[in-house]
Amino acid sequence: MVPHMASKMQYRRLGRSGLQVSVLSFGSWVSFDNQMKDDLAAECMQTAFDAGCNFFDNAEGYAAGESEAIMGRVIRQLGWKRHEYVLSTKFYWGIHGNVRNMRNTLNRKYLMQAIDSSLERYELDFIDLVYCHRPDPATPVEETVWAMSDMISQGKALYWGTSEWSADEIRAAWNIADRHHLHKPVMEQPQYNLFARDRVEKEYARLYEDIGLGTTIWSPLASGLLTGKYKDGIPADSRGALEGYEFLKDRLTEGSAIAKVEQLRPIAEELGCSLAQLAIAWCAYNKNVSTVITGASRPSQVVENFAALDVLAALTPETVARIEATVA
């Protein structure tokens, strides 16, 4: 197996911006509040921080705002300096169930109140990266672009971007911002892993050069499928067994996908790494990926995930071609 001490962290520019983010980052989706509270979250975040991670991903919709609150408390507890970390949030889903409250929207009213609420939960003056968590066909793109740009002009955010938007939607938003001399979208947060490649590799291909798009990719392990731990069903301590995440079960137990994962095992063994480390390193090998967002529910998982840096350093074009041919 790869040694527990990972190689030195790499940093990449977030698209065409001057901001540099660690190639491996730490996200709170599923785990914060559901699997761990403040103390364990602090251990995991400090472990990532000690390994050179500077980007910590979050969203208002994660645990209905509690994930942001936990992360904010943890950062204060750990005493990190504001210049030492990059923090994100994402808007669209809303956190209020009442039909009178705004949710599933990117209109101006919702966005301007959402940023203020996130700042309150974090107890911060500004958030580094803010995303439109999904596209909103019911709101004119111009309205969304103006609102996101105004967040930056007001000093409440530093950069804005999108998550799971199509290439056409991203380009339309960028063109509106360019035409009106507004702050342009800098980054996109798409799913990217060995089983979900087309959007990052094909659909966005021209955007990297045309507008300098950065990517902060999520689900490098395909919700855990690429770890190989679902070969014999859903382990009781896995996210596939969590209440509210039943939608993952069919995906994680799909026979042909599991078979392909098992065919990757000899390659991982040759490299002396786990399947998870192989999958994370493969994502980071793509130079159009600014950072790979990893998740963990205990510090040992953070250590294992970040040891993928050693695997990344060992990857060759020939090995990458073998990996891709195996799951094609």
Residues labelled as active-site residues: 62
Say which amino acid occupies 99: V
Distance CA 98, CA 251 (A): 31
Instruction: Answer yes or no: are the C-beta atoms of 119 and 83 closer than 8 Å.
Output: no
The values of phi and psi at residue 55, to 5°, are -115, 125
Q: Which residues pair with 98 in a beta bridge?
A: none
Q: Which residues pair with 185 in a beta bridge?
A: 160
Instruction: Answer yes or no: are the C-beta atoms of 128 and 83 closer than 8 Å.
Output: no
What is the end-to-end Cα distance of the chain in Å, rounded?
Answer: 25
- Write out 96-124 in H/E/C secondary structure: CCCCCCCCCCCCHHHHHHHHHHHHHHHCC
Ramachandran class of 208: left when φ > 0, alpha when ψ lies in -120 to 50, beta otherwise:
alpha
Core vs surface per residue 191-212: b (16+ CB within 10 A) or e: bbbbbbbebbeeebeebbeebb
The values of phi and psi at residue 164, to 5°, are 60, 40
The strand pair at 11-13 and 20-22 is best described as: antiparallel
Which of these, 116, 112, 185, lies nearest to 145 by C-alpha position?
Answer: 185
